[in-house]
């Protein structure tokens, strides 16, 4: 059934269709609609789940940890300060190998207080070990939830799905709403081998000395690496049932492109419009959307970008003292394998619009500058 719904509600519908058993969350703008609708769905019986209304995000993730350890499918949603407050428990979910799914609405971090979008909240959690998938449309957002559970449960790893504040969370689009019955054909019931069970008692997470810790960490990295193929396969299986797939990355008009703009999130759609316009002018340009950020799809990215003459990375985030985070990742994907210039552009922090003209400015700069002096360029900063 097709409906016009907001981005946040597309998350809720994905969660409902995935038959989540325990939800625990705390309100924060611009995520709140997700859990408001889920509360309603729990209340009227659309979803058979327990909703634990905790007193903080730290506790929201802790409650998910408990529920998931008990063998139930668990979900939470948050944003910005809330995600940062969860930090300790994000690590816990990884070390404990719990397939929790979290939806994070990308919101800038204070101070100054901001409710508008940028990616510093989720990207500052880059190294905790959660898989991260960045969505671009409401349809993709909804569809990524059951995909995320399937990936998470197979890898025994938590998955974060990420959407831009307002540009996606509050934007209404047509969504083909998936149902439980349909999703059952794609996502099997969650039946973990190891769980809290008095008939098979184990101690989980007790002291592990230097003789075991490293192996456990190795296994996490192994799961991440395996993740690339699992995500690809799960996406195909989803496509077989629903006719929609999203891939690890999405190249657009890249085949003969001399310049490629690398994007993520909603900027990707705006960029495609600019690419079309520039193609009409005869400029050989394309774009590459990074959908899956962790595990990072090194080979797939290399495959596309190595054919270009120049790569420009648009980052709605900044790692202070270094540069854009996607920029760093792209560089590491190409390192030692090509000498194409890769230039980073920081734009749209704290919700500043990245309009077609901003993207055009970046594209023109990238094309015009054969030997860029700076590899980290700020776009639109007022003097």
Partner 1 sequence: MKPAVMPLEELMGSGHLACQGCGATQAMRFALKVLGPETALVIPACCWAVIDGTFPHSAVNLPIYHTAFETAAVVASGLKAGLEMRGDTETTVMAWAGDGGTFDIGLQALSGAAERNDDIIYVCYDNEAYMNTGIQRSSSTPVGAWTTTTPVTNYKREPKKNMIDIMAAHSIPYIATASTAYPHDFMAKVKKAKSIRGTKYIQIFAPCPTGWKMAPELSVKSARDAVTSKVYPLLEITEHGQKLKVWKDFEPTSVRDYMKVQGRFRHLKDEEFDQIEKDVEMKWQRLVAKEKMLASIPGLIE
Task: List interacting residues with partner 1 (CB under 8 A).
Answer: 21-22, 24, 48-50, 52-56, 58-59, 62-72, 74, 88-89, 92, 195-198, 200-209, 212
Q: Which is nearer to partner 1, 24 or 132 (CB)?
A: 24
Phi, psi of 49, deg, nearest 5: -140, 155
Question: How many angstroms separate the CA atoms of 325 and 327, rounded?
Answer: 5
Cβ-based nearer residue to partner 1, 21 or 316:
21
Of the two residues 202 and 383, which places its CB atom closer to partner 1 in the complex? Answer: 202
Assigned token pair, 358: 């901003």
Whole-angstrom distance, CA of residue 249 vs CA of residue 348: 22
Look at phi and psi of residue 195 and say left if phi exceeds 0, alpha if psi is from -120 to 50, else beta: beta
- Cα 249–chain centre separation: 12
User: What's the closest the beta carbon of residue 126 comes to partner 1, in angstroms?
Assistant: 20
| Both structure tokens of 12 | 């809720």
**C-alpha 257, offset from chain centre:** 26
How far from chain centre, in Å, is Cα 381? 27
Work out the number of other CB atoms within 10 angstroms of the CB of residue 115: 17
Distance separating alpha carbons of residues 315 and 344, to the nearest angstrom: 7
Report in angstroms how near the CB of residue 195 gets to partner 1 at its nearest.
Answer: 8
| Nearest distance from C-beta of residue 378 to partner 1, angstroms | 38
Q: Given the complex with partner 1, which of 201 and 321 has the nearer CB atom?
A: 201
Rounded least distance, CB 172 to partner 1, Å: 32
User: Rounded to the nearest whole angstrom, what is the least distance from the CB of residue 56 to partner 1 in the complex?
Assistant: 6
Shortest Cβ distance from residue 143 to partner 1 (Å)? Answer: 24
Q: Which is nearer to partner 1, 210 or 368 (CB)?
A: 210
- Give the whole-angstrom CA distance, residue 82 versus residue 94: 18
Measured distance CA(114)–CA(119) in Å, rounded: 13
Shortest Cβ distance from residue 94 to partner 1 (Å)?
13
In the complex with partner 1, the residue whose CB is nearer, 43 or 208, is: 208
> Min. distance of Cβ 52 from partner 1 in angstroms?
6
Whichever of 48 and 225 has its CB closer to partner 1, that residue is 48
Beta carbon nearer to partner 1, 211 or 255: 211
Which candidate, 135, 102, 96, 130, places its Cα nearest to that of 119? 135
* Residue among 54 and 340 whose Cβ is closer to partner 1: 54
Q: Residues 59-92, buried b or exposed e (16+ Cβ, 10 A)?
A: bbbbbbbebbbebbbbbbbbbbebbbbbeebbbb
CB of 60 to partner 1, least distance (A): 8
**Across the strands, what pairs with 78?**
104
In order of 51, 85, 169, 254, the CA distances from 26 in angstroms are 11, 11, 17, 42
């Amino acid at each position: 059934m097709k409906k016009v719904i907001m981005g946040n509600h597309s998350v809720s519908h994905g969660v409902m269709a995935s038959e989540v058993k325990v939800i625990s969350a705390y309100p924060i703008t611009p995520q709140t609609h997700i859990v408001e609708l889920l509360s309603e769905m729990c209340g009227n019986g659309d979803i058979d789940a327990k909703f634990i209304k905790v007193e903080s995000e730290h506790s929201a993730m802790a409650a998910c940890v408990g529920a998931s350890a008990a063998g139930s499918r668990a979900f939470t949603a948050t944003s910005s300060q809330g995600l940062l407050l969860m930090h300790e428990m994000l690590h816990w979910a990884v070390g404990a190998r719990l397939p929790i799914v979290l939806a994070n609405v990308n919101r800038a971090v204070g101070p100054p207080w901001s409710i508008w979008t940028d990616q510093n909240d989720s990207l500052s959690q880059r190294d905790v070990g959660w898989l991260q998938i960045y969505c671009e449309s409401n349809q993709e957002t909804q569809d990524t939830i059951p995909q995320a559970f399937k990936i998470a449960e197979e890898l025994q790893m938590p998955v974060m799905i990420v959407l831009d504040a307002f540009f996606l969370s509050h934007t209404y689009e047509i969504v083909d709403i998936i149902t439980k019955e349909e999703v059952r054909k794609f996502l099997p019931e969650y039946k973990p081998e190891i769980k809290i069970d008095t008939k098979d008692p184990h101690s989980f997470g007790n002291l592990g000395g230097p003789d075991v810790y490293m192996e456990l960490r190795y296994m996490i990295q192994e799961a991440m690496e395996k993740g690339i193929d699992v995500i690809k396969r799960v996406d195909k299986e989803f496509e077989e049932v629903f006719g929609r797939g999203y891939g690890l990355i999405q190249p657009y008009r890249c085949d003969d492109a001399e310049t490629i703009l690398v994007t993520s999130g909603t900027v990707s759609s705006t960029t495609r419009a600019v690419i079309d316009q520039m193609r009409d002018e005869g400029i050989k340009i394309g774009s590459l959307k990074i959908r899956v950020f962790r595990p990072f799809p090194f080979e797939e990215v290399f495959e596309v970008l190595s054919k270009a003459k120049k790569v420009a990375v648009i980052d709605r985030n900044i790692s202070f003292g270094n540069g854009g985070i996607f920029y760093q990742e792209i560089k590491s994907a190409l390192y030692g394998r090509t000498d194409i210039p890769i230039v980073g552009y920081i734009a749209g922090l704290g919700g500043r619009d990245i309009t077609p003209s901003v993207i055009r400015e970046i594209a023109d700069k990238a094309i015009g500058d054969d030997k860029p002096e700076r590899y980290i360029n700020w776009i639109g900063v007022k003097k």
